[in-house]
Amino acid sequence: MASSRIPSVTLSLKQFLQRQKVLGLYRTMLRTIREVPSEHDRKYLRDWAREEFKRNKGATDQDAIRMMVTQANMHLQDLQKSLALARS
């Protein structure tokens, strides 16, 4: 039988919303990485993003998670700025 993707513990509303925010950030980052022109750079960035999110998957401290989300947003903004400069 296939394993269920439903978590074994129920999340609070705050945890659920934070989880949705993190997943949205991850998706946005992967979409942005798809715009990188170099295949080698795309693969490097995609692997880096996946590893970072996977490494921090088990984090439970709300303050630490907020800090990681802030750092990820800064990395995403830097990448978006670099892509915008490369296009112009």
pLDDT in tens, 25-40: 999 999 999 999 999 9
- What pLDDT score does 7 carry? 63
Closest residue by Cα to residue 69 from 41, 28, 34: 28
User: In sequence order, which residues have a C-beta less than 8 Å from that of residue 6 and are 6 or more positions away?
Assistant: none
- Domains of the chain, by residue range, sit at 15-54+64-81
Assessment of whether the complete model's pTM goes beyond 0.85: no
